[in-house]
Structure 1
């Protein structure tokens, strides 16, 4: 499958410069803004994207989320799956 994207713990996610990530008060959620519109992110997606700064690797993002949500257990699979999907969607460079 040629459109398969894999994200590993050592990868450093970087927001595609076509998007701007921000809290949208009117929508009561985090969003990705782009010239043609806006993508509303659910809670977990917003929490992950909030940590995407081009410096943290996926392992650091996972560790921070697991510390913040200590009762959630191992989040690595879910976070890596989301980052792969975000890359596939073009949200990440």
Structure 2
């Protein structure tokens, strides 16, 4: 990751990972060759919006509208930064 995550960054699921809904687990999971990461509801909602096309600002706005909340940006960005350190997310 060579740039700081900003409002115009477009996060996407990192190479080697696949995001999918697991009916049996009743949650989103990240699959990778060595295993699986079970995501909580909030993490799943953020990750499913990280399609490489949507900018951070648009993702935050969509989450705020969907959940009728305001001021989510700090928490969303903090999660994205943690996810990037784990390799779950990369951005353009």
| Common fold: TM-score over 0.5 | yes
Task: Name whichever structure is richer in strand by fraction.
Answer: 2
Residues in 1 aligned to 2:4 and 2:76: alpha-carbon distance in whole angstroms: 12
CA displacement at 1:10 relative to structure 2: 1.7
Q: How many matched pairs?
A: 88
CA displacement at 1:6 relative to structure 2: 4.8
Unaligned runs of 5+ in 2: none
Residues in 1 aligned to 2:35 and 2:4: alpha-carbon distance in whole angstroms: 27
What is the CA RMSD across the aligned residues, in angstroms?
1.3
Residues in 2 aligned to 1:87 and 1:50: alpha-carbon distance in whole angstroms: 15
Q: Which moved more, 1:7-16 or 1:24-33?
A: 7-16
Calculate the TM-score normalised by the size of structure 2. 0.89
Residues in 1 aligned to 2:56 and 2:86: alpha-carbon distance in whole angstroms: 17
> Contact conserved, 1:7 with 1:81, CA < 8 A, in 2?
no
Q: Which residue of 2 aligns with 1:78?
A: 75
Unaligned runs of 5+ in 1: none
